[in-house]
A and B are shown apart, each in its own frame.
Chain A
Amino acid sequence: MSAAPPVEASKTATELIESPDFRALVRTRWTVSFTLLGLLFVGYYGYILLVATAPGVVARRLSEAPDAITNVGLVLGIATLVFAWILTAVYVVWANRSYDPEVERLKSQLRR
């Protein structure tokens, strides 16, 4: 997205909706959303399926040491929560840095 050129508020609502920039904005918004949702699905349902189908893997201890107790499942449970929060944060950073400025630029083109 390039720096906003000096704009004139010249477009009608219909022209703006049909402009390539606006269509790109909508397309990008849903691409980002559904990509992140896909990652959330892989992370969470992957975790559930792993727990359900491979309990042996989940129960495996992290280290060979005789006093080791922490297993894969305990780590994965917390990791899944952290992962979900990170995805949320990624969306907010993207939206604040990239989506909002483009929204402002397009809004300024709208003739009122």
Chain B
Amino acid sequence: MPPAPAAAPAFESSLGHPTFASIGFFFLIILVTLVITWWAARKTRTSSEYYAAGRSVSALQNGFALAGDYMSAASFLGISGMVALKGYDGMIYATGWLMGWPALMFLVAEPLRNLGKFTFADVVAYRLRQGPVRIAAAVGGILTTIFYTIAQMVGSGSLIALMFGMPFVLAEVLVGAVMLLYVLFGGMLATTWVQIIKAVLLLCGVTVLTGLVMSKFGFSLPALYRAANDLYPAKHLLVPGELTASPLDAISLGLALMFGLLGLPHILMRFYTVPDAKAARVSVLYATGLIGYFYVIIPIVGFGAAVLLSLKDGTGAMTTLGDKVITAFDRGGNMAAPLLAEAMWGSAFLGFIAAVAFATILAVVAGLTLAGASAYSHDIYVSVIKKGRATEEEQVKAAKIATVIFGVVAVALGIAFQGQNVAFMVGLAFAIAASANFPALLMAIVWKRFTTWGAVWSILVGGLSSVSMIVLSKTVWVDLFHFEQAIFPMKNPAIFSMTAAFAAGIVVSLLTPEPEAQKKFESEKLRTYLGVGAE
């Protein structure tokens, strides 16, 4: 039954109009998290408490916090919207987001915990000359964090504007201010608990939404698939579409998603919050389970939105299809899940989901801020400028100043990029993480002959090649700069930039042998594998 072509969607939504429920949940979340911050602030005095929650977080808590750090509003709203509009392609895309977690466990989680103190640069620089390596690794870390933050901030501003009807700039300032309160006063402990609360709320919200969708189809997945398939006969929702049109590009995207995780500073930093390598290991298993569950059920929300948001007239005939209803609110499909929540359980449930999305943004930005701040205050200020000789007070003070600077910069960049399409910046963050941060980190852990200049060149080559290839690709060169033709033919550079970073690291290391670093590699093994002397 084709709908009338240009029929305006007649879906009445309270989206964009603050309701009692949405405001209520919104303030409840802010109140609870600020109480936690007040409690955490009394336990946050030393640098180890500020950056790493005193290494007191349990494996289960860290599992939830890792999941909270990783499941951004982009994955919740974006992937459900992508499934609603494009079907199976959204499922393929969702799969890639989990694949980094097993790799993180196998390659870096335990050595990272044993060798490092607060940042991943601790591990890269462990046996190398601190100055050059720290600076290179910190720049890689800060670039990754900044691009990820811009994407989050711009997305959050439009999201809050869309859901609460709040002006963009006010939304940015509000996110920045609340997030800074968490990080500045409660440090990693408050940030961890914000992540845990957000992960629980998000998983509960999506579970309820999934249950409501399934109840409409007699709890039968095939019935849901059939309804989606039959409603959109021309779209072929159940088979692969354009996402994998180029196998090389699809593999390259997969590599960036998989190994990008292993270079995300705000994720890696979480491993220092647990007491030992065993807790780090177990926390990855919890996180993988929670995130995997999330990506298994999120397509159900997407398919459900495509079917259940369709409008019927009085006689039961279809007037507007669900995809038209969704794109009328947001062209990218980001409002599929909130609209579905409202269609299922009314504006109170929409208010809850909107508040959860807001908490999601706050939590992710708080984690990013702590990571970005530590790359400057711990890696550059304390380790390079003060040569590691800073008192506890100086370290905490530097961390707090860096936190404020990063928070202000985040808000400023969010406002500066208002209205721009910044979706590519998440891809950019993952490409830099996979190409600049991950190769150096892995080689530092496993390769005896890795050297200072090998590390610096690996980071430089990986970072510069991934950034320039993305700039020259269609996403930026054509869509943003409006040139005729992309110079780099693919969308995802990771397969080349990651290879280039490993090649640069290996070649330069072999050309600049560093016997001192090789000797230290042997003696650090007790710490890497047995945890002897780990902090």
Contact = CB atoms under 8 A, between A and B. Distances in A.
| Chain B contact residues, majority secondary structure | helix
B523 A13 contact: yes
Given A58-B239, A70-B222, A77 B288 contact: no
B250 A48 contact: yes
Interface stretch (B26-34, B96-104, B121-129, B140-148): B96-104
| Chain A contact residues, majority secondary structure | helix
Given A73-B238, A84-B288, A110-B532, A48 B522 contact: no
A106 to B, nearest CB: 6
B225 interface: yes
A58 to B, nearest CB: 6
Given A59-B239, A89-B285, A103-B530, A69 B292 contact: no
A58 B88 CA distance: 11
Contact of B247 (A52, A81, A106): A52
A110 B529 contact: no
Interface string A13-56: 11011000010011001100110110010001101110111010
Contacts of B530: 103, 106-107
A74 B240 contact: no
A87 interface: yes
B225 A81 contact: no
Interface in B281-295: 281-282, 284-285, 288-289, 292, 295
Contacts of A2: none
A92 B285 contact: yes
Nearest to B285: A92
Contacts of B529: 22, 25-26, 29, 103
B409 interface: no
A55 B240 contact: yes
Interface of A: 13-14, 16-17, 22, 25-26, 29-30, 33-34, 36-37, 40, 44-45, 47-49, 51-53, 55, 58-59, 67-71, 73-74, 77-78, 80-82, 84-85, 87-89, 91-92, 95-96, 100, 103, 106-107, 110
Nearest first, the 5 closest Cβ-Cβ pairs linking A and B are A52-B247, A52-B244, A33-B106, A59-B239, A77-B91
